[in-house]
Every structure is written in structure tokens, then in C-alpha cells.
Amino acid sequence: MPHPPPQGIGQPQFDLRLLRERCTPAVMGILNITPDSFSDGGRFNVPERALAQARHMIETGADIIDIGAESTRPYGGAQPVPAEEELARLRPVLADVVALGVPVSIDSMKPEVVAWALDQGAVIANDVWGLQRDAGMAALIAARKVPVIVMHNRACADPEIDIMSEIADFFLRSLDIADEAGIPLANIVLDPGIGFGKTVEQSMTVLARLDELAAFELPILVGASRKRFIASVSPSEPQDRLGGSIAAQVIAAQRGACIIRTHDVAETVQALRVTAAIESKR
């Protein structure tokens, strides 16, 4: 059962409608407080370093901080983490990040972790299984009346499928679950899950055809930062994929993404602003 907010503590809201009023996508800075994330595992799993990184991302333009304490890296090898361990990683960090004053998203597939994070002031839930892994997640989101990021995912990639049809069908199932739970469409963001359950070719196809998801008439989030498809075009380690990340993020913005989730906030903000400035001269 979802837990209500503690009595007497107001739950701030994040209005997704504001995304449509922006000339550039909102930038979501990634804060991994894990030892095994694919691109920066172990760099920020000390509270002081995590807080310093969150502050740096905000100072360089992050509109949202997305904090995660369990690696969900899309290429296998991530070790499942019990809820209590996930919470132990979050407890020394989350309240201080919330106190920095920008909206905080909690990246977790566990309702009990999301509930605790919302109690501490997080205002967005980011579910990498799109409400389809744990039945309690949709009930929690409905009870708390917070936005939820619904990400497409698969247990494994299948190069034979039509990935855009697969994503559309997945989102339709997630939206049915949300509707049954009482989550309004106004509180839903869709994320096609670049790299998750997809071949590198499928990830690039999703980016190229991202505008097809406009048919859902919901905000779209794209997280292409440092993903493996970049190395398939230009061999590189995750930390050396800034150029490819920027290229993918600019294309995503041009195809209609409302939120860009990235490790490299300053560079992404600059790229999006310059792109918007150039486009305005057409």
C-alpha cells in the first residue's frame, strides 16, 4: 500500500505543463550514488562528492536532478540491490540535494524507495520499468499525485522486432495501468529508454524517429548520454563520448524531446541554447 506523506509536511509539486512553455528542453542532471553505474560508478557514492556534484550541475544549468542509488545500466552486469541498501545510500544525501532548491527526481523501480524519497522532498518518480515491474508503483504515484517518468524497457534486445511499434505498445500498456490507478495524463512523461532492451541500431532508430512519439501528446524525455550506440559509430569509453552525446541530444531536442537527461550538464545546456538560437533565425 502506498504511504501518505508525513502529516504536516507539504509535498511540493512539479507542473509538467511548464515544459511546453520553454524554448529549449529542460536539462536533467544525472547523480548516480552507486559503485557500479556504467559511466561514473563510484565517483559520487560519497555524500560530500555527491552533494558537490549536484551543486555543480545546478550552477551550470540543471533544471532537475535525477538521483539514483541502484545501477540500472542497460548492458547487463548490474547487481540487484535490496531496498534497504538503496535507502542506506540515499539517506546521507537526498535531503541535502533537495535543499539545493531545484526539483529532484528519484530514479528507482521500488515503490518503498520512491515513497521514502518523496517524503524527503523529491517531486518526480523515474521508473525504468514504466509502471510494469511492481504493481505498487502506480498506486503510490496516484496517491502522491506526483509526475512519473514512464520508461520503455525489455529484459533483452531482439534485433528482429519493429522497435517503434514495440515502444508504442509498451507505452499503451503503461498508460492503461496509470489510468486504472488514477494517475492523470498531466502527470506522465514518456522515455523511450535509449539503450535499454535495444540493439545499438534500434537506439539510433528511436532517436531518428523520436517525433513519432508525439502522437501520445505527452512530454518526452531522452537519456542518450554516454550510451553504447555512440561507441558503435565512434569507438570510445563512456567518459569519452561527450561529442556523440551532444549530437544525440541536439537531435532529440529537434525531434521534440522536452527533457534531456545527461551526465554533462554545462555542455548540454550550451549546445541546446546555441541550437535554439540558430533555429530562431530561420
Phi, psi for 274 (deg, rounded to 5): -65, -40
> Active site residue: 73, 144, 226, 261, which one?
261
Cβ-Cβ contacts under 8 Å for 255 (sequence gap 6 or more): 207, 208, 209, 210, 211
- The beta strands (E) that lie in the chain are given as 26-32, 64-68, 104-107, 124-127, 148-151, 188-191, 221-222, 259-262
145 among known catalytic residues: no
C-alpha cell at 78: 548490474
> Active site residue: 227, 228, 241, 255, which one?
227
Cα 202 from Cα 223, distance rounded (Å): 14
Cα 104 from Cα 71, distance rounded (Å): 18
C-alpha cell at 239: 567518459
273 among known catalytic residues: no
Residue that is written with C-alpha cell 525504468 in the block: 128
- Return the active site residues: 227, 261
